[in-house]
Structure 1
Amino acid sequence: MNTKVSIIIPVYNVAEYLPRCLESCIHQTLHDIEIICVDDGSTDNSLEILRRYARMDSRISVIHQQNKGLPGARNTGLAAAHGDYIMFLDSDDYYAPNACERVWVETKEAPTDIVIFGTNIVPAYPQPEEWYAWTLYTRTQRFWGFTPEVLFENPSAKPFVWRQAFSAELLKKTGIVFDESLRYGEDVIFQMKIFPQATHFAFISDRLYNYRWSRPDSLMNSQVSTLDAKLTKHISVVEAVTAYWAEKNWFREYGGEYLTWVLQYIVPDILGGEDGSLSAHGRRLYQVIQKYGLEQYRKSLNMENKLLLKKIGKM
């Protein structure tokens, strides 16, 4: 069987949600898929559930490892993948029945490095409809060649790899994997590295992914407990991405857009601290900006972002 799509599922203590996740995979309308489940040291009966499903469907493979965190589990899955396209599914979420087929059909219409698709929130998301539409809806469109719009301006390109499918050829060519040194922001780092190295992007409006937002013990809900901790981790993400971009010499073309992203990603939260309690984060961020010479792109900033840069420069 020629494997068209590899689904990588990192698993850690999700016994309650795992059956629905796996059922959504084995009942995909595209049959030529492989389902790679990486049990990341679960202490509940998740591994038992995985092995039971693997006995039922030969397309499911189960890898058990000591806990390495989400990036490490995804990397283990990547190393085992044989599909032409790679998709990532969180183990408490589930796909629409036609998710893999819809992605595959899109890649056959034209050469495609990355496919980005829409998302449903389950249960219904409590935020205002405008926020939901801006963040998780997608508008069908194609981009031929990387432009800053794809990464920085298109709201559909928010860094959630579970709503994206990647060409295995692109992943092999770039050698990009998830950063295992950080257990927060791995999606941001991955996307900021791989998007500038892709040439063909397909955005499709179909909502193929069902994201379970309300699980209280989910990884996303438990990683950051305070704004101070969030900023510490966000700046570590910026440091990792900035170092990579400097190595690739991408600032020469996209320095202004990148600096805008950095400022909008972090500074509003820094300024939200009471009585300057978060100013240390502002100083640390400004040091990163200075270290990599990003101040030279100040002229390309709009007035709002010039003020943000000025404020952290005075902390």
Structure 2
Amino acid sequence: MRPFTYTRARSAHEAVTAFATSTADRPHYLSGGTALIDLMKLSVETPGRIIDLTDVPDLDFVREEDGDLIVGALTRMSDVANHPLVGARCPALVESLRSGASQQLRNMARVGGNLLQRTRCGYFRSVEFPCNKRQPGSGCSALGGLNRGHAILGGSDHCIAVYPSDWAVALTAFDASVAVVGPNGTRSVSIHDLIVPPGDTPDRETTLAPGELITAIRVPTSPAARSSTYRKVGDRSSYAFALASAAVGLHLDAAGAVGEVRIALGGLGTVPWRAWDAERALVGARLDDASVRAALEPEFRSARTTAQNAFRVGLGVETVVEAVAIAKESAS
């Protein structure tokens, strides 16, 4: 680990000012630190200044506002997962948080930082291997290497690293947005616009400008959110990243047909993957496994697979089928 200077911010404004006026290379905010410290130990992240946010007040809360669910960015994952308002409004959010990491890490990690965690790609985390995300222009070792767990959706010739957050997948299904503050003031960013696919610039992972930080997450009210679930399939039942996951919400009309459906895929893409085409195909339908499989077919037409990870197309489909069945039972 390389030397760095340390600042403990007492307000969001103080944190943003410290970042904007820093003369050190690569200043970095720290919230829970469960990801950043690991990357610093590996020399993947080498910030010259750490700006600690953990003492910033008023960013640790869960509340209702104008019917929407609002969560402070510095709220611990475990506190959000255990909050009765979250469970009542959107069970998928609770299940996604409990699917991530271990209880000990969830007691430290904050929900805002969780959205900004970097990929767990082994080539990214090992500085001896070329990685375009870590060092632009050096190459992507995963393309011709071990890529069983790499993305099949949203990749490019420069990067196929999977986006890791379970929480973000559930937020994507229910059209969340984040409140952001930075040197140029405040703004709101849709979750769909926050995290970007690698394209030609895999080192650019979000649309946040330098010095901007997330202060809160808003989840709009949705009938489908109340009958929702998050299903995750991995090599282990706990403390493992998804080979495939699905956040699904469902609302049935009086006749039992689909009035509203939300589907987002995780573990398969370079970003949380909203299944827009499948949702449109299922509205008005009477759900069964065959109709869900048929609706999902267009989502995987663009899948870029290898001999090692092609099995995850079928795994992704069946994960959604299972999640839809669970949500349907809840919605009935």
TM-score, normalised relative to structure 1: 0.30
Tell me the TM-score normalized by structure 2: 0.29
The structure where helix makes up a greater share of residues is: 1
